[in-house]
A and B are shown apart, each in its own frame.
Chain A
Amino acid sequence: MSAPELEVRSLTTRYGAIRALRDASLTVGVGEVVFLIGPNGAGKTTLLNTVIGLLRPTSGQVLVRGEDVTGSSPDSMITRGVALVPEHRRIFADLTVKENLMVAGITVDAATRERRLAEMVELFPLFEKKWTTSAGYLSGGEAQQLAIARALMSDPEILLMDEPSLGLAPTLVDLVFELLGSLREQGRTMLIVEQNAQRALEIADRAYVLRSGEIIDQGTGAELRERTDLVSAYFGSQDT
């Protein structure tokens, strides 16, 4: 059997004395869409940030297509075809929409960058009008699209996303999920952190449930949707 596209083995990450992620393991196969769900503070963002190389794990490994890339810097992860759409979007508010995308294309040559810029305008028509607007003036939904477009500038095989629907109005959440659907059709491998568990499980191939820094459950989207303990993972048992 060939190695999975992305594999995380017994990953532990600390912030100072704080252990935010404990012994987490997961795999994502080629073209798979895998969600990480669970309450806040569970360690989901820590996991993604460790995979991309913003944080260094205290132990454990990250493998891309079987190659050990633990502790690689974000730029080398991007050249390996992995990109992250960070939590809170983190768009550059002082830069224009175009400049945001340009920066995100720093790892590719100028010709490819120009081509991708054109592709992004095609994929996100709203950019055309806002091309030279400072990104700080974008609405939440527009900013989220820009954040995703930035990650696509390097045309990654593996796309990591941290709460792409965060703070968006319901109609915009629909838009984001539509976008996830079309990205999946392009065959991209995705590992997505999402609060909106119900929506996530509808389109997930598989999902992992994190709580208190540990993976406490996993399964296909359908399996997890059947299980009632998902409710208690969020809401606690009903009989207290």
Chain B
Amino acid sequence: MGSSSRYLRATAGAMVLFVLLVGGGLLYAASGGGSRDILITQMLINTIIVLGLQLFIGNTGILSFGHTAFGTFAGYTVAVLTMPVSRKMAQIPDAPFGVAGVRLHPLVATGIGVLVALAVGVLVGLALTRSGAKSGAVAATIITLALLFVVHEVSLNWTDLTDGGGGLGFIPRLRGRFWIYLTLALALVATRLFAETRVGRWNKAAREDDVAAGAVGINLVPPQTIALLASVVVIAIGASLRVQSLGSMTPVFFYFDYTLLTLAMLIVGGRKGVTGAVLGVVVITAGNEFTRYLAGGDVNVPGLGWLLRPNLSLLFLGGAMLLFMLMRPEGIIPSGEVDQLASRFRRRVEDDPAPEQPPAEPADGAAVDGPALVVADVGVQFGGFRALAGVDMTARPGEIVGLIGPNGAGKTTLLNIITGVVEPTAGTVRLGDRDLTDLPPYEIARAGLARTFQNLRLFGGLPVRENVAVAAMAGEKYRGDRPRIDVDVLVAMAGLWSQRHRPASDLDYGSQRRLELARAAAMSPTLLLLDEPTSGMSDEESAVMIGHVRDTAARLKAGVIVIDHDLHFITNVCDRIYVLDHGRIIAEGTPGEIQRDPLVIEAYLGTQALP
């Protein structure tokens, strides 16, 4: 599917959600009194804030307790800048920056509020990304929690600006819901579109597996920072609306209770999608109101008096969050969006045919070009243990090179050094003229080295096709001059066409290995590095894999380095083989030479020659 139709569909989905939410809300409000009107206004504003949370938490997988604190910054900015000067002179005459004497239009004030929140967002973003923020990163979560508490403390104590706990009032009220509808519609479209942009999809890939994301050329920092700043903008605007709709601002407006409320909405609905987030807003709003009503003293259920007490809604919010974590941690809608329903249904009736796979061009020497990989005198030491020493190795373009050796010989360590996951203590790794030795994994991937992992590192929660597509986007961006294979063709080649919409983690072992190869190939690499591509496969599956590796390399005009214990596989597929034992290269040669080399047989089967 082209990206424009992808965006179009996402926008349509966002509009459907808008109509359902606003329409449902208006119907509900029309059927009751003015209090329902206020409730719906607050629900719509809460939706904007929850969308801001979803944008960051859902896409990056980093749990943040502190995002509502950005609302405090925007909220106070808007409050201070829009209050009548006379009120300010009474409440906060000594406010810094001379703001006591200024009064701005709400739109301008909102703009400044966004900028203030963004400025804080940049500092927080720096701390987050530096603390190794990745999906589920605990330190990042705690930084955000601290932000929430600290901003509350400061807003309570900086009385010159905030007038302390009593808060600021007389903020001009919003009339009508025009700005709320507009912002909500834009926020829905923006969050839904963000998930479909390259940055959004890279965030989701990194959320599923940060190491694998690096291996397909994704640097986590820019996508995460963009997601953070975008979410700050959405929340800041939402906060401005909330303050204007209530007409006042206090230190607790965007503090603990509000964080709990909005977070419960996101978590219960399903944090990974916009549809889930919106559903969560509705479910939690309804539940919250219902429990308040129950505990309000107007209801009298015999035998339940002990439960129907004030603060029941706090129990509801905490309990809902806890129960979902214990029973259904991904929320009501774990994945998928409303706009994907139609195509999901259509697929059930009739699937598209798999794309034609153009025949591979013969890998004649002339067609193959590109730099050679040269590993020179590489060594690494872990503590006192010398895992590799003096390793020299070359992989020329178009060549299939095998790397074998008994378990523990250092093969994967060598691969990790080449791809930048492990830093060598000695030696260099070069690709043509380029020194790769000290580059981070994503730079090495962009330079043209694509790898697979011994223990399989797929983007498990993402669909099969998306696993290949995120790598292809990186391939297109960073390796546009190399031969490429279309994403759909790669999926079909891997024999996964009929399963392309299923989560990658659902696949069986052999399919996951083939998918990893397809993902690596989508990078348009100069060199494919495969770590045990047939491990755990049956003989038939291995045989298929042999053809598959050859075919893929030929189409990409890429070289291959393949590690395997399956010598049957290695001798069938490789032009040249290196044998590693105890961290040193003990032999190099053609498969025939290696099979007869007594040193190799000894390394594998023991010290004595075979009968």
Contact = CB atoms under 8 A, between A and B. Distances in A.
Classify A-B as touching or not with yes or no (CB < 8 A): yes
Interface of A: 16-20, 39-43, 136-137, 139-140, 163, 166-167, 169-170, 195-200, 202, 212-213, 225-226, 228, 230-232, 234-238, 240
B611 A199 contact: no
A236 B534 CA distance: 14
A17 B568 contact: no
8 contacts: A17-B506, A18-B509, A20-B509, A39-B567, A196-B406, A197-B604, A234-B567, A234-B605
Contact of B407 (A195, A231, A236, A237): A195
A200 B534 CA distance: 25
Nearest to B505: A16
Contacts of B182: none
Nearest to A136: B383
A166 B408 contact: yes
Contacts of A136: 383
B159 interface: no
Contact of B507 (A17, A200, A238): A17
Interface string B568-611: 11111000000000100000000100010000010011111011
B508 interface: yes
A84 to B, nearest CB: 17
A141 B507 CA distance: 40
Contacts of B571: 235-236, 240
Interface stretch (B144-152, B262-270, B535-543): B535-543
A157 to B, nearest CB: 28
Contact of B568 (A16, A169, A232): A232
Given A17-B507, A40-B407, A195-B406, A137 B569 contact: no
Interface string B401-425: 0000011110000000000000000
A170 B599 CA distance: 13
Contacts of A40: 407, 532, 535, 565
Contacts of B244: none
A228 B505 CA distance: 39
Contacts of A225: 611
Contacts of B407: 40, 163, 166-167, 195
A231 B610 CA distance: 8
B303 interface: no
Contacts of B505: 16-17
A145 B512 CA distance: 37
B97 interface: no
Given A195-B407, A196-B606, A235-B595, A18 B565 contact: no
A40 B570 CA distance: 13
A202 B607 CA distance: 11
Contacts of B406: 195-196
Contacts of A212: 536-539
A199 B602 CA distance: 10
A102 to B, nearest CB: 23
B572 A240 contact: yes
Nearest to A233: B568
B178 interface: no
What DSSP secondary structure best describes chain B's contact surface? Answer: loop
A199 B532 contact: no
Interface string B551-578: 0000000000000011111111000000
B385 interface: yes
A41 B605 contact: no
A213 B601 CA distance: 24
Given A197-B606, A198-B606, A17 B567 contact: no
Nearest to A15: B509
B591 to A, nearest CB: 8
Contacts of B409: 167
Contact of A169 (B383, B538, B582): B582
A136 B508 CA distance: 37
Contacts of A231: 605, 610
Nearest to B509: A18
Contacts of A166: 407-408
A20 B535 CA distance: 10
B220 to A, nearest CB: 25
Nearest to B406: A195
B408 A235 contact: no
A199 B606 CA distance: 5
Contacts of A42: 536
A84 B408 CA distance: 19
B193 to A, nearest CB: 33
A164 to B, nearest CB: 11
Contacts of A200: 606
B608 A198 contact: yes
Given A40-B532, A202-B606, A236-B566, 16 more contacts: A17-B512, A18-B508, A18-B536, A19-B509, A41-B535, A43-B536, A137-B383, A170-B607, A195-B407, A212-B539, A232-B568, A235-B567, A236-B570, A236-B571, A238-B595, A240-B571
B195 to A, nearest CB: 26
B536 A41 contact: yes
